[in-house]
Amino acid sequence: MASSLSADSPQQLSQLSTQQVTLLLLLSVLAAVHLGQWLLRQWQRKPWSSPPGPFPWPLIGNAASVGRASHLYFTRLARRYGDVFQIRLGSCPVVVLNGENAIHQALVQQGSIFADRPPFASFRVVSGGRSLAFGHYSERWKAQRRAAYGTMRAFSTRHPRSRRLLEGHALCEARELVAVLVRHCSGGAVLDPTQPIIVAVANVMSAVCFGCRYNHDDAEFLELLSHNEEFGRTVGAGSLVDVLPWLQHFPNPVRTTFREFEQVNRSFTNFVLDKFFRHRESLVPGAAPRDMMDAFILSSEKKAAGDPGDSPFGLDLENVPATITDIFGASQDTLSTALLWLLILFTR
C-alpha cells in the first residue's frame, strides 16, 4: 500500500502541473490576442481620425502619468505634439487644447460641436441629474437654459424694484464685511480674509435666491459652504470614477471619495429643496416676486397654466430647484476668488 502511493504521487503531481501550465498558456494566448486587437485598433484609428498624443495603457490610459500638476504634464505634451493633442483617461478619449487660436476655434467658431458634457458619473449626481450646468446638450436643454437666463435677467436688471433689491443686498453685505474685517483685525491681529469674503458672497446670493442672509458665525451656513468648496475641488480636479467606472464595484479610496461627494450633493440639494417648498407654500398669487426663487416659480407656473403671453419653452417647475442650485453654487468660487485677487491688488 505504501509503495503504491509513492509510485502514483509523482504521476499525479505531473498531471496537475501539466494542467496548470496548459491553463496559463491558454490565458496568456487570450490576453495576447486581446492586447493585439486593442493595439491594432489604436494604430488604425490614430493617424487618420485622432489628434496625436502619448501611448495609452490598457484600462488606465494615461491617468497614471497626469499626476497632481496636470498643467505641467500638458505643457510638456504641448511642446511635443502641438497645441491640439489627445490623451486617454481610462477608456475615455480627452482632447486637450493649448493656445488662444485653438481654444477660440473650438469653443467659439465650433461652439455647438463642443457644447456637450461627457456622461460622467459625477455629473449625474449633481442636482439629481437635472443640473443645467452639467446637463446633456440638446434642444430641450437649450430651451430650458434660455428660459432660466431670461427669468434671471428679468428679475435682476429689468425691473427697477428687483434691481433695487439686488443693490440693497450687495451694499448691506459690503458694510457687514467691512465691520467683520475691522473687528477681527482689532489690536493688530493677523487675519485671513478668505472665509469672511466667501460668507459675504454667499450671503448676497442667498438673499438674491432665497430672500434671507446668515450671520458670519452661523454653524449650519458655514457647513453648507464647506460642502460647496469640497464640491468645487472634486469637480475641478476631476473624479477617477468618471473615467474608471469599474472603481465603483469594489472597496477602494476612490469609491469612498465618490460616495462622500454624493453625500455632499444630497445635503446641498436638500437645503435648496427645503427653500423651494417653503417658497411655494408662502407665495402669494399675483404678488411681485420676493427673490429669484419666487421669480422662477412664477415663470414655471405660467408655463404650466399655458399663459399665452409666456414662452412655450419656459422652465419646468421640477427643474427650478436644480437651476437655483446652479446659480447659487456657481457664484461662490468665481466671485469670492475675484474679490480676493482685488483685495491683494488693493493692498499693494
The total of other beta-carbon atoms located within 10 Å of residue 236's CB is 8
Q: Torsion over CA of 31, 32, 35 and 40, rounded to 10 degrees?
A: -150
Identity of residue 160: P
Q: What was the pLDDT predicted at 333?
A: 77
Q: What was the pLDDT predicted at 86?
A: 92
Contacts of 77 (CB under 8 A, 6+ apart): 53, 54, 85, 87, 96
Rg (CA), the chain: 28
Q: What was the pLDDT predicted at 3?
A: 44
Residue 302, C-alpha cell as written in the block? 405660467
Tell me the domain boundaries of the chain.
51-115, 129-347
Q: Which of 76-80, 87-91, 310-314 has the highest mean pLDDT?
A: 76-80
Residue 104, C-alpha cell as written in the block? 477660440
Q: Between vectors from CA 84 to CA 83 and to CA 87, what angle results, nearest 5°?
A: 125
Q: Report the predicted TM-score, pTM, of the whole model to 2 decimal places.
A: 0.72
Q: Are 232 and 333 spatial neighbours (Cβ–Cβ below 8 Å)?
A: yes
Q: What was the pLDDT predicted at 8?
A: 47
Q: Are 173 and 200 spatial neighbours (Cβ–Cβ below 8 Å)?
A: yes
At the topology level, CATH places domain 129-347 in Cytochrome p450 (1.10.630)
Residue 328 has pLDDT above 50, yes or no: yes
CB environment 197-216: b (16+ within 10 A), e (fewer): bbbbbbbbbbbbbbbebbeb
Alpha carbons within 13 angstroms on the beta-carbon side of residue 146 total 12
- Give the pLDDT confidence of 227-275 residue by residue, as tens digits: 766 676 666 555 778 888 888 888 888 888 888 888 888 888 888 999 9
Position of cell 408662502?
282
Q: What was the pLDDT predicted at 216?
A: 85
Q: What is the rounded CA–CA span in Å between residue 328 and residue 174?
A: 18
